[in-house]
Amino acid sequence: MCALSHKSGQSLIIISKQARTSNVPEPEYDRCGEPAMKENSDGKLSVKTMSSLRKDILPMISGRVAAAISGALIYGLEPLEEIRLRAEKPLVLQNWSREWFIGSDGLPSAKPAGSFIVTQEDIRTTLELMSENSIYAYQDEIKNGFITIRGGHRVGIAGRAVLDGESIKNIKDISGLNIRISNQIFGCSSKVLKYLIKNAADIYNTLIISPPQCGKTTILRDIARNISNGVPELGFKGVKVAIVDERSEIAAMLRGVPQNDVGLRTDVLDGCPKSIGMKMMIRSMSPKVIITDEIGNDGDREAVHSVLNAGIRIITTAHGYNISELKSRREVLMLLEDKVFERYIVLDDSDGPGTLSEVVDGTDMRVIWGSGRHVS
């Protein structure tokens, strides 16, 4: 017997080998086939997960693999974060808590022994479906190691690299696909918004710090949507937002259309390096706020200062477990020393991905919310 749980309000589901004949509750879906809206008991902003798993992803996966996943989903695995297909290896489903295999009986299992095996043909068929039977049309994306499909889901690709000098021309003999599921959670930034908003029309320059897979991009996306649309509950009017989406993960553009809701006053520059894109958006789109993900590459510091010198606010993120850890990264350290950021938001996964751990005032490094009192 195994237990599955999810910390966003779903009930604990216990699964046994008799689960097929017992009253195992299926997740509730609205008329559009999406997970139903969950109202918080304390009256805060509601949260809705928009993974579009059945609509966008399963039709793009090899039929036998899709059938196995679909059969396992009724046992409370959602929301999934990743689906991993490796040639001649077990199918792996990853949710917030752990990885799951699918047993020969169709039930989720914590052990790989006797589980569903993905074939090379499954991978080939899946990639053809995802590229709409025209892999060459996706060549520019494939050589970067991923493609983006409808719904904003990113598919990582592993295989044999074909080199052209020092650059990658193509990836052949595909051996693995990692489908990273874009879960847009409306309202997930509700706990941090009050620390970002300065007044009815202004926000603080903010750095969100989080370890990998702890929800920083999901929260960043929801922040963009909220400050673009406005937050009546906090008296904040919507402002013009520019997103520099270097890795296509925030807005997840597909043929010029954002697959995620990033707000009605938001413009997106997709696939452009941050150091170049921030300066372009300053000149071309006159934003009030620029949002970008994972700061720290060469040239990012100069670009951030260009944003501030233009009187524009910035919200960005960095990988790390705390503020002190960021000091080992040169570009980020210089930004810390420049006192660019007025707010530091630290996330962890202590109560599930996206848990707010600490809020620090960047002007005096005083802890506004959290366990500590001062950050050195």
If pLDDT is split at 50, 70 and 90, which confidence band does 376 have? low
How far apart CA 376 and CA 358 sit, in angstroms, is: 14
The pTM of the full predicted model, rounded to 2 decimals, is 0.76
pLDDT at 129: 93
Lowest-confidence segment of 7-11, 101-105, 204-208 by average pLDDT: 7-11
Neighbours of 309 (CB within 10 A): 9
- Residues sharing a CB contact under 8 Å with residue 364, sequence separation 6 or more, in sequence order: none
User: Can you tell me which residue has the tokens 């592993």?
Assistant: 158
Q: What is the arithmetic mean of pLDDT over 152-166?
A: 88
DSSP letters along 192-218, please?
A: HHHHHEEETTEE--EEEEE-TTSSHHH
pLDDT at 5: 36
Region for residue 144 given its phi and psi (left: phi exceeds 0; alpha: psi -120 to 50; beta: otherwise): alpha
Domains and their CATH numbers in the chain: 2-180 (no CATH), 189-369 (3.40.50.300)
Token digits of residue 226: 């909220």
Question: Measured between alpha carbons, how far is 194 from 216 in angstroms, rounded to an integer?
Answer: 17
3-state secondary structure of 158: strand
The pLDDT of residue 373? 55
Q: pLDDT tens digits, residue range 263-283?
A: 999 999 998 999 999 999 999
What's the pLDDT band for 37 if we cut at 50, 70, 90?
A: very low
